[in-house]
């Protein structure tokens, strides 16, 4: 069996797929949070950022296709691992305590994953599959100035924080990126980056909710 088909069929291979695709999705979140942070500087800065992005032209559908493929691979492999784990547990030979112990993050991974998927579908419906002739600043403002969306988005982002907190820890284990000397510093840096990404999204939500003229 080639290494490629082995990666897709063995459970260790699947863990690698989860780690690598998870890291890539984390990279997308970092870029997305950085781009959206232009909202802090108001309507013109945000529209300017969106115009720069759209100037990439045909590269955009290519990037979207790659992002969607990575996302689907992460979701489908995650479901396969979840089902395999359920089956193993019912056959009573599963190792019920993962390395690092059972934290809230590790116990809820499949459920937070499903909630994040629902959040992303709602988000795409709000900002992507909507009338694209409306300026992006108005699209975002119209959605995120409504309390119900502030609540739904904050919940989605907090659930994302829980998922990513364990995901990051887990991918360091899977990829063997741990060294007794640097372990602590690598993890602190990773947690810090995650915390900043989540904080940027939450601050944007708070600002749009409390200051309706920010993007006006």
Q: Is 160 in the site for ligand HEM (CB under 6 A)?
A: yes
DSSP structural state of residue 172: H
Closer residue to ligand HEM (CB): 49 or 172 = 49
CB closest to ligand HEM, residue no: 204
In this structure, is the dihedral angle defined by the CA atoms of residues 8, 170, 164 and 104, taken in order, positive or negative?
Answer: positive
Q: How far is the CB of 120 from ligand HEM (least distance, A)?
A: 5
Q: How far is the CB of 40 from ligand HEM (least distance, A)?
A: 11
Q: Is 122 in the site for ligand HEM (CB under 6 A)?
A: no
Nearest to 194 by CA among 27, 75, 19: 27
Measured CA angle at 117 (ends 116, 123), to 5 deg:
85
Binding range to ligand HEM, per CB under 6 A, among 1-9, 12-20, 124-132, 170-178: 124-132
Q: Is 214 in the site for ligand HEM (CB under 6 A)?
A: no
- Exactly one of 204, 209, 214, 215 binds ligand HEM (CB under 6 A); which one? 204
- Exactly one of 19, 70, 109, 136 binds ligand HEM (CB under 6 A); which one? 136
Cβ neighbours of residue 163 closer than 8 Å, sequence gap 6 or more: 105, 108, 109, 112, 113, 116
- CA-CA-CA-CA dihedral for 197, 26, 175, 166, to nearest 10: 60
Q: Is 49 in the site for ligand HEM (CB under 6 A)?
A: no
Nearest to 11 by CA among 65, 82, 98, 117: 82
Per-residue x/- mask for ligand HEM, residues 52 to 91, rule CB under 6 A? -x----------x---------------------------
Q: Is 123 in the site for ligand HEM (CB under 6 A)?
A: yes
Burial class (CB in 10 A: 0-12, 13-18, 19+), 202: middle
Q: Is 140 in the site for ligand HEM (CB under 6 A)?
A: yes
Closer residue to ligand HEM (CB): 53 or 84 = 53
* Upper half-sphere CA count for residue 39 (Cβ side, 13 Å): 29
Closer residue to ligand HEM (CB): 85 or 146 = 146
- Asked if residue 171 lies in contact with residue 190, where contact means CB atoms within 8 angstroms, the answer is no
- Asked if residue 113 lies in contact with residue 163, where contact means CB atoms within 8 angstroms, the answer is yes
- Site residues (vs ligand HEM, CB under 6 A): 32, 36, 50, 53, 64, 116, 120, 123-124, 127-128, 136, 140, 157, 160, 201, 204-205
């Amino acid at each position: 069996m080639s290494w490629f088909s082995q990666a897709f069929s063995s459970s260790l291979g699947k863990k690698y797929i989860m780690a690598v695709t998870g890291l890539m999705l984390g990279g997308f979140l970092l870029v997305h949070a950085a781009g959206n942070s232009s909202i802090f500087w108001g309507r013109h800065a945000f529209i300017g950022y969106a115009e720069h992005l759209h100037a990439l032209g045909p590269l955009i559908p290519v990037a979207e296709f790659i992002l969607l493929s990575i996302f689907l691979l992460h979701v489908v492999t995650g479901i396969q691992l979840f089902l395999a784990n359920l089956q193993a547990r019912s056959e009573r030979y599963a190792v019920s305590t993962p390395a690092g112990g059972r934290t809230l993050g590790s116990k809820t991974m499949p459920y937070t994953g499903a909630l994040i998927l629902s959040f992303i579908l709602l988000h795409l419906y709000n900002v992507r599959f909507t009338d694209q002739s409306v300026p992006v600043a108005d699209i975002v403002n119209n959605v995120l100035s409504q309390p119900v969306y502030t609540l739904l988005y904050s919940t989605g982002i907090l659930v994302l924080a829980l998922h990513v907190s364990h995901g990051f820890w887990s991918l360091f284990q899977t990829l063997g990126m741990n060294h007794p000397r640097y372990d602590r510093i690598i993890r602190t840096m990773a947690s810090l980056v995650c915390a900043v990404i989540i904080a940027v999204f939450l601050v944007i939500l708070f600002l749009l909710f409390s200051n309706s003229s920010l993007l006006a």
